[in-house]
């Protein structure tokens, strides 16, 4: 009778441990799946701007039509339902100042665009994008 009681207690302890680990794993994955890492959003977008001829030339021109060319591209690439963003095009030596309206986590990255063969007297530009949760 004593041996049967020991086996029952060991089984009960194992089941308790499995339930506790199951709850911990459930909450861990529920929390991590709901959060998107902001640092995964911007670098591929900047890379695509650098590779696309039309977007790259818009950055090189740096005029008001550049904003109308780049904004729809960013709207398609950045989930506007969950995130807000701001971008700026500035000279290579100048700081890019962005208007950010968030008190939470903000991720910002920039990329130098240095090759625009179709534009005379071209100076390299920087594109800076900041993304934050709404």
* Residue 83 · residue 133 · CB < 8 Å: yes
Phi, psi for 127 (deg, rounded to 5): -115, 125
Could you report the per-residue pLDDT of 68-87, keeping only the tens digit for each?
888 888 888 887 677 888 88
Nearest to 126 by CA among 106, 98, 84, 85: 98
Cα–Cα distance measured from residue 1 to residue 65, given in angstroms and rounded to the nearest whole number: 86
Helix (H) or strand (E) run with residue 10 in it: helix 2-34
Could you report the per-residue pLDDT of 28-71, keeping only the tens digit for each?
877 655 556 677 778 888 999 888 888 888 888 777 777 888 88
Query: With a threshold of 0.75, does the pTM exceed it?
Result: no
């Amino acid at each position: 009778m004593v041996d049967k009681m020991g086996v029952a207690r060991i089984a009960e302890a194992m089941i308790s441990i499995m339930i506790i680990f199951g709850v911990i794993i459930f909450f861990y994955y529920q929390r991590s799946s709901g959060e998107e890492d902001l640092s995964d959003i911007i670098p591929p977008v900047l890379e695509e701007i650098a590779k696309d001829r039309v977007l790259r030339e818009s950055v090189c021109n740096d005029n008001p039509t550049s904003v109308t060319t780049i904004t729809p591209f960013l709207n398609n690439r950045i989930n506007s339902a969950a995130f807000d963003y701001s971008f700026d095009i500035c000279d290579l030596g100048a700081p890019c100042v962005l208007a950010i309206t968030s008190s939470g986590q903000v991720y910002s990255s920039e990329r130098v665009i240095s090759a625009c063969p179709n534009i005379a007297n071209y100076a390299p530009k920087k594109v800076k994008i900041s993304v934050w949760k709404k």
